[in-house]
Structure 1
Amino acid sequence: MKFDSPWIIFLLALIDRGIHGLRFTKSPANLTVTQGNLARLGCAVEGLSEPDIIWMKDGEKLYSTDQMYITLEQHHWETFHSVKSVQQQDAGKYWCEAEARGITISSEPAWITVEGVPHFVLEPEDVATFPRVPFNLSCAAVGPPDPVEVLWWLGGVQKGDPTPSPSVISVPGVTDSIKFYCEAKNARGISVSRTGTVHIKVLPEAPSSVEVVEVQENNVTLAWTPGFTGHSDLQACTIQMSENTGKRIELPERRVNVPPFEQSISGLKCFSKYSVRICCDNEVGPSPFSGWVDFQTPEAVPSAAPRNLTFELSEQQLYLSWAAMEQEELRGRLQAYKVQWNLAGDSQEALLFKENTAYLSGGGRFFNATFQVAACTVAGCGPWSLPVLVMPATAVPPHTQRGHVWVGLLLGLLVATMVGLLLTVLVHRRGKETQFGSVFEPSGAETTVSFTAARSFNRQGPELPESTLDSLGISDELKRKLQDVLIPEKLLTLGHMLGKGEFGSVREAFLKAEDSSVQKVAVKVLKTDINTSGDIEQCLKEAAYMKDFHHPNVIQLIGVSLHRRPQQRLPIPMVILPFMKHGDLHTFLLMSRLGEEPFALSLQTLVQFMLDIARGMEYLSSKSIIHRDLAARNCMLNENMTVCVADFGLSKKIYSGDYYRQGSVSKLPVKWIALESLADNVYTTQSDVWAFGVTMWEIMTLGQTPYPGVENSEIYEYLIKGGRLKQPPDCRDDIYEIMHSCWSPVPKCRPSFQQLIDQLEGVWAGLSPGPGKEPLLYVNLEAEGCEEGAGLGAGSLGLEDLGWAVPWQCVGMEEDEKDWLMVSSGAALAIGGDYRYIIDPRNAIEEDGGVAGAMEDQQRDPKEEEEDVVINV
């Protein structure tokens, strides 16, 4: 076969060029690693002028900030990928890729196989059942090494003999709630699954809260939170409503399927009072009803025009009257009757009257005019009545009529001139205004019409009135707190936007002081979906906390302003804060390594950041303030590079990308939240200490996202198994020890903020060259203790005997707290706990000289060596 085609020749030349110019001289080798030990893969490539080798795992790129290259010779490079503490998720297929001159080549693949205690791929789930109804439980675990056997425990009693994984057990039925779990065993040891619960289905509880989400003229949207479901899914809810018109009128019940726990109800009357309550039922039966919740539909535009418009005309005045409106047609509170009239085809200025009568002076001018009347509520004016033409009651001779007209006109003109002059003087002197408009109008050439002033319905005035605290419907206590920090909106000049999020936006602004000086500030403008006084009170209540803060490391409130909105009853709250030149700490850290012009931050600077935050948090805790959202993104940097803690309290309900939504109720920054807060939604100063430890990790990694590779929804399971943030590269041991102490599962074992300040001040003072602090020894596989002799068998030793070996232990712990500490550190004997790992001592001694050496050093009794060795995985 001849390859004389130009394209084929070119292709072969290109392939030959790639093969000879760029090639891997070393590919990674297959590894079988014991869980918790070091794994290291290497590859080398020839033909690259600069090192650019990418590591791949299962088809995805591996990103590393500490990848190093070794020069073998010119254009010949070698690199390694290391996993310091191999876990099950590190198992997989690895290879290298390199690119040059448009050609990408791959090395031969290699596999990392992780050996250890069994790894659960299916743990038993909680079961809800009726009494004495049979059900099945499933459990599955895998090695290597295989095989894996599963043993069941039900109500603290062993159930049957070990069976191969996966395992399914049939339970004939129970009458009371019991606990259960399964054990998985292989040649390396035993793992214990989560503890599940068999629940007996019961009646649900009443909905915990019924809220009126939105109410309009003829419909309402309700939302409710279901109570305890009785361990059975809720199927439907019943809504009972009544209309309150002096007596309760029951309305037909409404049956709705759930979820969602929300329903819109239409067909309601305007400006009417209602009550509503809800119950929900599961397959067992219905719950009790919630308490009654009252609401009122808003006013609407009147549905009909006033009837029976009549008039009486004399030479002096015109008298109009019409029938009063019925409440059902009015559909709200009457604000005024609006009268419009038309003369010779020209519309005249409309008049407003409180009553259903009107007296208009100068009757002669209304000959041949048509009048109409409409009723008005706060929602607007209804339809116009039929027009009525004004004519004299009896006919008179033409010349007499003309004479009367001229006399009337002359007298009217004289009276109008005198009244006009008088009114002009009074307007300049008093300028009195009524509720609905000005009494006195400038006099003109025409006769003045006197009428009872009502209310103006013009909502598009040239300047909106300034909002006051009295107009918001907030509590008197909150008004007193904010009275001296309320700043008129006219003193603010908003500039360009500094940031925008789900909560609203932050804008640069200039604040004018009484002495005409101008201060540059930052204004947090909350979202425009403020619909109730309760929303405003919540925003202002949280801002009021900031009013009395005076500390260099806590951002201080300058003031609060209220932005009046056209067509809206309620204003938008604006929180005025000092302008921070360098923005938030998280963005600053990211820019230091990822910005267009990266810059170096010394370790002294990073520790100073930590000290500033700790001092600010110590001040807040002394004021009994719990931050609940401490993170680098909520710390600000001023022009002096001083960190100020910000967004305390105000951050509630305004989270964005770093948060995980639980159901549809709230959003939580789970990667910063303490273990007990995730479990029980309880926040304390100790939970702020946990978040401070995560913030220290952010600072040391220059803004990396915590727990890389762990999804938000997986954080709780990761923490309860004893997982914590790994020590960042180039992070000193003493700094990591400080942040690690913040993550004790027992809150009172965490340091206080004052203790953190003392420790960090010691680190900062000791940053000059000198011997480093000895690292603490932890019994866990992440520290590569098996190879270095750090492993220690627990056996029958008590917790007191292992005081230095178990992380986060502290003086004064209760017994139940010690159990919790052991469970969360992964070293528990699992009595009532969720996770434990028991390593077979014989395998540990035979295959791991480090553990054996540690045992020999402790000179343990041979009987003790037969006990299970508890070690943190």
Structure 2
Amino acid sequence: MKPLLWVVVVALRSLTGSCGSGVLFTKHPSNQTVSQGNKVSLGCAVEGLTEPDIIWMKDGEKLYSTDQVFLTLGEQHWETSHSVKSVQQQDAGQYWCVVESHDQMFSSERAWITVEGVPHFIQEPQDVATFPSIPFNLSCAAVGPPEPVEVLWWLGGVQEGGPQQSPSVLHVPGVNSSIKFYCEAKNTRGISVSRTGTVHIKVLPAAPVDLQLLRITDNNVTLSWKPGFMGYSELSTCVIQVVRVSGRRWNLPQQEVQVPPHIHTLTGLRSHSNYSLRVSCANEVGASPFSPWLTFITPESVPSVAPRNLSFELSGQNLSLQWARLKEDELQGKLLAYKLQWTHGGEPQEPLLFKENSTPTLDAARFFNASIQVAACTAVGCGPWSPSVLVMPASAPVQVQRSRMWVGLLLGLLVATIVGLLLTIAAQRREKETKFGSAFKAPGPESSVFFTAARSFSRNVADLHESTLDSLCISSELKNKLQDVLISERLLTLGHMLGKGEFGSVREAILKTDDSSMQKVAVKVLKSDITSSGDIEQCLKEAAYMRDFHHPNVIKLIGVSLHRRPGQRLPIPMVVLPFMKHGDLHTFLLLSRLGDEPFDLSLQTLVQFMLDIARGMEYLSSKSIIHRDLAARNCMLNENMSVCVADFGLSKKIYSGDYYRQGSVSKLPVKWIALESLADNVYTTQSDVWAFGVTMWEIMTRGQTPYPGVENSEIYEFLIKGERLKKPADCREDIYEIMHRCWSPVPKCRPSFLQLVVQLETLHLSLSPATPLKEPLLYVNLEGDNSETDREEGAVGARILGPEATSEGSNWSVPWQRQAEDEEKDWLMVGSGAALAIGGDYRYIVGPCGAIAEEAEEVGSVGRRGDLANGPVDELRDEDDDVVIKV
């Protein structure tokens, strides 16, 4: 019966979510299917632990969330959630949460997030290299959801066949010239365009280039070269031709080598010789022309042989020596001298040097009974010695004297032995005695160290002192700029996260003002593990920029606050900004086209967006500020649907001249960057005008990615050839003319922001000359609030707003906007018992403060910073919007 009882217990535990050891999951994540760009949230609750560390998992790997909030549901009962503000395809997968107790890991049930959106490619067509009229295939595959996905091919600008189910293979019977191609993938959500590929015709390669010598010795040479144009076909072999010039031309056998690598060592060369060589490489079509000749001289070496036929002549008291000359090939260099070495009485004598192959008359008596050798010498050194010759009179008996040095050798060994013994004895007797105890007090049974503490502290201090700018190691200039905008931390109550980035997060917050009223704001918070004063100073520089901004279309700084952390030397800076209720312009435009409830935007509304941005940029340019990252994602929509230019992470103030030169390696949004900035890294107000033209194109296309089908690495070549963004569908000619003038290759020929404001004001008045108020707009739920009120309104569908809704002091009655009553309830909850974690000991994980000021230049993914001003993070951007530009 016991086994059966155990099975019943296990079954009951699985039904109730019990993990054993008193740990019980009371809430599990649930399967969800959402549209691309919408918000999704998963919940998980666990009971039975005092302070659990609940970790979210995705497809078997930990999720390092920066906005995880723990809520207390009861004693030892905790709830947490994981949310994504703007879902992308990469967010799809299987999610669950785990918790650790008594060295055991327990898991909740698993749930799937399915993301519906435009198709994304899992296989894009690649470049093809082929011979003329040879058939080949092109492959393209894309998936949803939703399914099915149809693929349409374009070859040379002409549609090939009809739609095919993905994956698709296009059979091409052959081409005779280079041609471009790409595929389109379509489902019920929209159309995606693949990369543009090219069909290349294989041809003969060009001659190798940059032929050079890497290393050269007397008879070995290592050379390298680079392949020229390879003819769209891999090189297989290279041929090296070598010629030696020595009086007449000697063609050496050519050598064939396999490539890569494009490097080879020639061996068996002669020293001090003239050579020429050249290289040709071949692909499957044939061999390339030869490279130009490379001429070199091998270095000198020592002579290869000793002088031959060494002999002497005695004539009375005169002695002369002679020997045969060495040949040129035997010398292996330029002869400097012949060296004569001689030994007399067993002792070596001072050598003699002679220019010729014979000696002048010498004193015979000096050389009697001497042994003589000779060698030839070049600048490198001397060659081998000739056999020795003993100089003796012809009538004297030949005696070979042997020098015996046994006595000297024995005496030397005896002295060395005695010295070694003395050194050994001295080393054994030497001792070092160090008594460390006497450094503190006299010797005794114990040693004590007496000291006076320089600082005392307690890790359990409940009340932290208020932080000031003096506690930060920042420059005096920056401190003075921010002194009068410092806000006490006690006046802020943080709420849920609006966005996150590489270095921080943006959160909703309530700010208590001097008159005890409440104001909803957005707070940029630097990531808690960034603790250096340099990082903090970078974070505060953007706040210093915004401090002096006073314009309705430019976001303005409210203040700066400092959060003091227990046990940490430096506080976390928090930048307080106005709350932008309707998020960033790019997300708004995308949702108008791709959201669950698409809505129309009139031309007058779109032009009003452009006009607001132009007014804000005209104000910044008058303040000598270059934005350098103007795009729809960095423009925010306030409660009146007016656009404010935001995110000054890459901005620079011009102190002299009229341009700024980028001097470091940065990751920048190349599809918004002006032509001269891509070429020379020079940024001016005119380069901001170029970016404004691209932003106009974004607005007219309602959030499409610029230059569809053009790779980031191809943007510069695309623009330098005179190509520009095409006129959007349903775009008026006069509007396209304005944006096209912003893309003039000559910066001075582009309109100024003041001229753009005048032109857009005129255009806006012509669209509605009798009604200056904004016309009715159709909206959908952007914030995705789950309140009952919003669900009821969402069921009704989109709502039309009249001009009276925009009047000052009135509330926008739109489905995504919380009612004032709901907002009050929400913030009462955040500021009370359920949010003690936020107001007290920061039980949530503090997220980063965003890529702020110079930090964005060094690390940057400019297009993906989640701290873009104060609205929903731009997560709908093309993955390839950024590319690293190295300076």
Give the alignment's TM-score, normalised by structure 2: 0.48
Greater relative contact order (Cα 8 A, min sep 6): structure 1 or 2? 2
The higher radius of gyration belongs to 2
Give the alignment's TM-score, normalised by structure 1: 0.48
